[in-house]
Amino acid sequence: MNPHAINLFRHKLAADAPVGGLWVTLESPSITEMAVGLGLDWVVIDAEHGHLDWQEIAAHIRAAVRSETIVLVRIAGLDAMLTKRALDIGADGVIVPWIETAEQARAAARFAMYPPEGVRGIGAERATCWGECMAEHTAEANEHVLVVPLIETVTAGRNIRAIAAVDGLNVFFFGPHDYSSTAGFRGRWEGPGVADELLRIRDVIRGAGKHCGIMTRGADDLRRRREQGFRMLGLASDTGLILRGLHQALAGIGQDRRMNTGFSAAQTSVAPPLRRPPEVMRPDRREVITPCGAGNRMSLASGVILEAQVGRHNQARNLMTGIVTFAPGASLPYHRHPCGESITVLFGELLVEVEGRRYHLREMDNIVTPAGLAHAAVNASPETPAKAHVALASAAPERSDVQRDFAGALMPDDCSGVPGAERVNRFKTAQRFEAGPNAVFIDFFNEDLVPGIKMSGGHGLFQPGGRLPAHVHDFDESICIVAGVATCVVEGRHYSMRECATALQPRGRVHYFKNESEAPMVMLWVYAGPKPERIVVDERCATVEGDPWKPRGWRQ
């Protein structure tokens, strides 16, 4: 234990100053030595996940001896024996995962203290200088030891007032990934509503005169978290820093790639950017940005209005997208299209029937119907309107009413549709993948997921700083910004988009999207092609100077 470093840590927090640190998961104590040498306030050695053994943990603790950097060990669970062992080998404190109640929080504090305040046994180990400093250490340990609960579940959020009131606990660390998972959004950093919920918990903890910590994901996120009142700031993890550096270096030679769970990059490598798009893709139309409310409006049924934002009216090819608004209780009778259709709920809830199979769809749930499949939709709420984003694989889609009754049956909430017929994407459990830095995508439909669909599309979440590379498509594309603010860049032309504004990107136009705001941004993207393929090009092609489609013979 290092009382001097612990006091410095506490004094900074008491002055409402940030304390920055590193999360360590790898074996080499050189990592902790680097953190100490750079003057970081804290290091966490992760013994909950990963493969570190106690000898390796002790080596990390030794690397910080006689420094001003505290070392905490994240133990594997709320356990008196694990707490005692971490403290006996010299840790300044423990981070305890999955604390959900005040009783658990009190137990965590008690496990870290010697009697009579706690139940920690006294050992002649490194913390007591192998018995040489038994009296000195045991006299000061209870006052200095740091116990940091991890707040990482919805249950903990519900109980936060009682947890924050527990004596002996002054810092709480947040786990957004696990919190999102317990909220039904497994695999996401902050699922819908989770960011606001964490800020509510922060307010309760700070209102109790205590402090909050969280990992950050880059310079912009670090600034945002500091402004939000988080003071124990995780600057990075060791593996995160290594991977970030490798991706940047690989991108510099045009060989960046993703890793899969088999530790193979062979199937996920990214082709080097082209110097310019192929000449055969020279576009014949400009991009069109349509704010919500400026599209072509038409009535589909009583109380059901479609606003077409991309389609034949603005020269789109093989694609129509728009926003459908359902008045309370409004319904769209059974019909079919000669092309595939996608429906994504934006607001409210819809009941969508496909030949009698009734699906209850909530916000961001999606259903895809192949050509010719009869379907209907209804807003079951008598009080609240509902909105949906729709896409069809035709610029001028046709619709024919279906004059027959189907025996209705409500499908289970976890039903993903019928093989060979409709596909249902439940947003909470949909598979996600990284499409670019701080950009996570979901594929709703393509020819592999829905054979014969003739279009592809899905959902994209861009955290602050998220973006895609400059690219082109061999087909038209529609991008609707359904949450946050997006910056759309097309060959040097910049557009700010929000509130369901939709961009038509014609075949061959060099473009990309980025999130320059401090809040998440969400898009629904649809390609007029059966596979979600893009051709990455040199970033200069997305600038005025590097525009690859300047008139032939033009000279700068």
Instruction: Name the 3-class secondary structure at 146.
Output: strand
User: Could you tell me if 41 and 70 are in contact, meaning their C-beta atoms sit under 8 angstroms apart?
Assistant: yes
pLDDT (tens digit per residue) in 485-520: 999 999 999 999 999 999 999 999 999 999 999 899
What is the Cα–Cα distance from 126 to 404, expressed in whole angstroms? 80
Q: Which two tokens stand for residue 363?
A: 């916000």
Instruction: Name the 3-class secondary structure at 451.
Output: coil
Of the residues 49, 335, 473, 494, which is catalytic? 49
The pLDDT value recorded for residue 307 is: 97
Phi-psi region of 27 (alpha: psi -120 to 50; beta: other; left: phi over 0): alpha
Tell whether the model's pLDDT for residue 266 goes beyond 70. Answer: no
The pLDDT value recorded for residue 264 is: 59
Largest CA distance in the chain: 91
- Check residue 188 and report its DSSP letter: -
pLDDT (tens digit per residue) in 347-357: 999 999 999 99
The pLDDT value recorded for residue 130 is: 94
- pTM flag (> 0.75): no
C-alpha of 270 from chain center:
22
What is the Cα–Cα distance from 248 to 227, expressed in whole angstroms? 28
**What share of the chain has pLDDT > 70, as a percent?**
96
Please give the average per-residue pLDDT across 397-418, as a whole number. Answer: 88
Please give the average per-residue pLDDT across 429-438, as a whole number. Answer: 84
C-alpha of 28 from chain center:
30
The pLDDT value recorded for residue 408 is: 80
What is the Cα–Cα distance from 498 to 482, expressed in whole angstroms? 7
What is the Cα–Cα distance from 156 to 471, expressed in whole angstroms? 43
pLDDT (tens digit per residue) in 73-123: 999 999 999 999 999 999 999 999 999 999 999 999 999 999 999 999 999
Q: Which of 187-196, 318-327, 369-378, 545-554 has the lowest mean pLDDT?
A: 545-554
**What is the pLDDT confidence band of residue 269, given thresholds at 50, 70 and 90?**
very low
Q: What domains lie within the chain, and their CATH numbers?
A: 3-246 (3.20.20.60), 280-542 (2.60.120.10)
The pLDDT value recorded for residue 268 is: 41
Residues in the chain: 556
Main-chain phi, psi angles of 10, to 5 degrees:
-70, -35
pLDDT (tens digit per residue) in 132-177: 999 999 999 999 999 999 999 999 999 999 999 999 999 999 999 9
Are β-strands 93-96 and 70-74 bridged in parallel, bridged antiparallel, or unpaired?
parallel
Tell whether the model's pLDDT for residue 555 goes beyond 50. Answer: no
pLDDT (tens digit per residue) in 441-460: 999 999 989 988 999 999 99
The pLDDT value recorded for residue 48 is: 95
pLDDT (tens digit per residue) in 272-286: 789 999 999 999 999
What is the Cα–Cα distance from 261 to 283, expressed in whole angstroms? 39
Tell whether the model's pLDDT for residue 524 goes beyond 50. Answer: yes
Nearest-10 Cα torsion for 348, 194, 523, 415: -60
User: Could you tell me if 79 and 99 are in contact, meaning their C-beta atoms sit under 8 angstroms apart?
Assistant: no
Please give the average per-residue pLDDT across 11-18, as a whole number. Answer: 97
Whether residue 49 lies in the annotated active site: yes
On average, the pLDDT of the chain sits at 92
Residue 523's nearest CA partner among 474, 476, 477, 471 is: 477
pLDDT (tens digit per residue) in 26-50: 999 999 999 999 999 999 999 999 8
pLDDT (tens digit per residue) in 465-486: 999 999 999 999 999 999 999 9
Beta bridge partners of 169: none
Instruction: Name the 3-class secondary structure at 4.
Output: helix
